[in-house]
Amino acid sequence: MFRPSLEPELAQQSAIIFLLLNGKNDVNSSFVLLGPAKAVAHPRAGAPAMSGSGVVEARPVLGAVAILANTILVPIIGVAVKMLAELGVGPLELLAGRGWLTFLLLLPFLALGANRRAVLRADLKAHAIHAAFAVTTMACFYYALRTLPLVTVTAINFTSPALTVLLAGLLFGDRVRPLGWAALILGFIGTLLVLRPGVEEIGLDMVVVLIGSILAAGMNLAVRRIPARSSNYAVLFYFSLAGAVIYGAIGASSVTVPTPTEALWFLVLAATAILVHGCIALAYRVSSTVLVGGLDYGRIVGAALLGYVLFAEVPTLLDSVGIALIVLSGAIVLRVSTTRVPAKSPA
């Protein structure tokens, strides 16, 4: 079986993590991902309406960049999980190893005073709710990825963006324009064309993925309710701490000393997971749910690219049509979300 080289990937991810964790503490910074959030008391005139106590200054382009980065990063997690499963790593050992390693990778950045203050000042209740959703949805997807094809898991997971948008409207009053809903539906149709998931064989693994998708919607909304004084580093810190404690305790007896190959894939998994959850936290805190939900469909484009580059999987005609619809959907959502509403003239 073809085994992709890990050295370039590890070098690239190490550089990205270093820049993100040591960047400026302003939402205007290109290295904002793990910096403190910047609350806005008086939004710009005509800026998109943002709701939820965790939403900071409306910056839809920055949110779009963050979620588009996940179109490549999320499929990498799937590849890493599958490679570790193929090497004989069990589900509990996988979760425990991932939990411990992500927490250890984040610990050195507590040396920064801003990060220490953010962790100490954080709203523990809000972080606990977010972490509860995050660690459970992670378990669902890692469990299913060991046995189901990556495309099948991805297909079922695409119920999450639309569900997030729907719940945001019901719970937080986020308004979605008709064109926004049309774009989400268009992206979902494109996804079905690419993945063509079979529904005749619905097993336990598929049910677990569906449960994970529902929990993922809760996780996405929970991160928006985290007070703005909590930095994105604090979001990642408490999520990783919860994973290390919970899965470390549950899976401790299953953990063995990893081989060099297993250790490399664990490192890829942990580093990528930090980037993925950092991008999610950033996107949902600076942009609307409809923008994030629409562009999230772009993950299938990343999956198609990885399949072609790593495993020589050539897209069919239906695949190409589906990807085109997904790209069109994302373009519509980006246009709708970045168009300012004209300010009303005073009476």
Residue boundaries of the structural domains of the chain: 50-338
Sign of CA dihedral 12, 22, 28, 300: positive
Q: At what angle do helices 150-157 and 60-86 cross, to 10 degrees?
A: 140
Confidence at residue 25, expressed as pLDDT on a 0 to 100 scale: 36
List all residues 6 or more positions away from 84 whose beta carbon is below 8 Å from its beta carbon.
94, 262, 265, 266, 269
Nearest-5° Cα angle at 170, 168 to 172: 55
Is residue 217 within 8 Å of 167, Cβ to Cβ?
yes
Is residue 57 within 8 Å of 28, Cβ to Cβ?
no
Confidence at residue 10, expressed as pLDDT on a 0 to 100 scale: 42
Q: How far is it, in rounded angstroms, from Cα 266 to Cα 316?
A: 32
- List the chain pLDDT tens, one digit each, 347 residues: 444 444 444 444 444 443 344 333 333 333 333 333 444 333 444 444 444 434 556 777 888 888 888 877 888 888 899 899 889 998 889 999 999 999 999 999 999 999 999 899 888 999 999 999 999 998 898 888 877 777 667 766 766 776 777 777 777 776 767 877 787 788 778 777 766 665 545 577 778 888 888 898 888 888 878 877 778 899 999 999 999 999 988 888 888 889 999 999 999 999 999 999 888 888 877 777 767 766 776 777 776 777 677 766 677 787 778 777 877 876 776 566 555 555 444 44
Q: How far is it, in rounded angstroms, from Cα 258 to Cα 265?
A: 10
Confidence at residue 337, expressed as pLDDT on a 0 to 100 scale: 58
Confidence at residue 246, expressed as pLDDT on a 0 to 100 scale: 92
Confidence at residue 237, expressed as pLDDT on a 0 to 100 scale: 94
pTM, two decimals, is: 0.68
Q: Can you say how many angstroms the Cα of residue 25 is from the centroid of all Cα atoms in its chain?
A: 21
Here the tokens at position 41 are: 């008391």
- How many other β-carbons are positioned within 10 Å of the β-carbon of residue 165? 25
Which of 46, 52, 62, 30 lies closest to 295, judged by CA?
62
